[in-house]
Amino acid sequence: MSDNAKIIVDKFSAFYNQAEVLRQIELSIYSKERLAIIGPANSGKSTFLRSLNRLNDLHFHFSHSGKIIFDEKDIYDNTVDVPSLRRRIGMVYAVPAPLPCSIYDNVAYGPKVSGIKSRSKLDELVEFGLKKAVLWDEVKDRLKEPAMNLSGGQQQRMCLARVLALQPEVLLLDEPCSGLDPISTAKIEDAMLELKSSYAVVLVTNNTKQAARASDRTAFFLMGQLIELSRTDELFTNPADERTEAYITGQFG
């Protein structure tokens, strides 16, 4: 693991309507690692993930304190260009949400809004994204078909491809397999393993087994607090905190 962190979260707290949903989170995310975030419902893991690319800004009642340093700059600084931040820190949602257009247009959406007009460049990025998301072979002959025609697992990989076409530096995955069958899940996990060679991957999951097999480090969140963060094999075999142990052994949550 390299010493230069990709993202440094510094005493970050988040609030909805004054209620504190994240409390003084401190952690670093390194490039070329897969960081899993686990925790029961309402532990703030999704809020944390969505804070990393400022998607919480869409909530009118959201506020925060502390810093999230990306590229030597606080991402909540007023001078940050939020659309380009979101292109560099991409997000895949729990429920596959294809836009109502063709597979091609879905994957080309991000590059298009970033201002790329050249057809050949777009073709190239669409192919790049779909290949990285292990979907290219299944859809290369029907890129013009509506994305809604794909199966659930294919839709989710298309959503991944859509983000990868932007060539982000950090990839945020918010329970990306919660609605998928085991085979699709395995395909997504394979894709993640390959992606780790070029990106920092942050995975929020309700499935502790998935965290155990598909991550390098694991963070345990509870009630908006970071309880424990260590190497995945360590956390699952020898947790330092008894609450972590209770959670991973299924005693609550």
For residue 86, state whether it binds another protein (rule: CB under 8 A).
Answer: yes
Among 41, 60, 72, 137, binds another protein (CB under 8 A): 60
| Cβ 241 to another protein shortest distance, Å | 33
For residue 110, state whether it binds another protein (rule: CB under 8 A).
Answer: yes
Among 21, 25, 91, 229, binds another protein (CB under 8 A): 91
For residue 87, state whether it binds another protein (rule: CB under 8 A).
Answer: yes
Q: Residue 37: how many CB atoms within 10 A of its CB? A: 27
Nearest to 187 by CA among 211, 167, 166, 160: 160
Q: Residue 78: how many CB atoms within 10 A of its CB? A: 5
| Cβ 25 to another protein shortest distance, Å | 21
Query: In this structure, which amino acid lies at residue 30?
Result: Y
* Span interacting with another protein, options 23-31, 54-62, 200-208, 213-221, rule CB under 8 A: 54-62
Among 26, 71, 77, 99, binds another protein (CB under 8 A): 99
| Cβ 195 to another protein shortest distance, Å | 17
Beta strands in 95-224 (DSSP E): 170-174, 200-204, 217-222
**Per-residue mark of binding to another protein, 13-52 (x: CB under 8 A):** ----------------------------------------
Report CA torsion sign: 44, 50, 52, 57.
Answer: negative
Beta strands in 51-149 (DSSP E): 62-70, 73-74, 89-92
In the three-class reduction of DSSP (H, G, I as helix; E, B as strand; rest coil), residue 181 is classed as coil
Nearest to 205 by CA among 98, 46, 82: 46
Name 182's Cβ contacts closer than 8 Å, sequence gap at least 6.
Answer: none
| Cβ 227 to another protein shortest distance, Å | 28
The site for another protein (CB under 8 A) is made up of: 53, 55, 58, 60, 83-84, 86-87, 90-91, 93, 95, 97, 99-101, 109-110, 112-114, 146, 148, 159, 162-163, 166
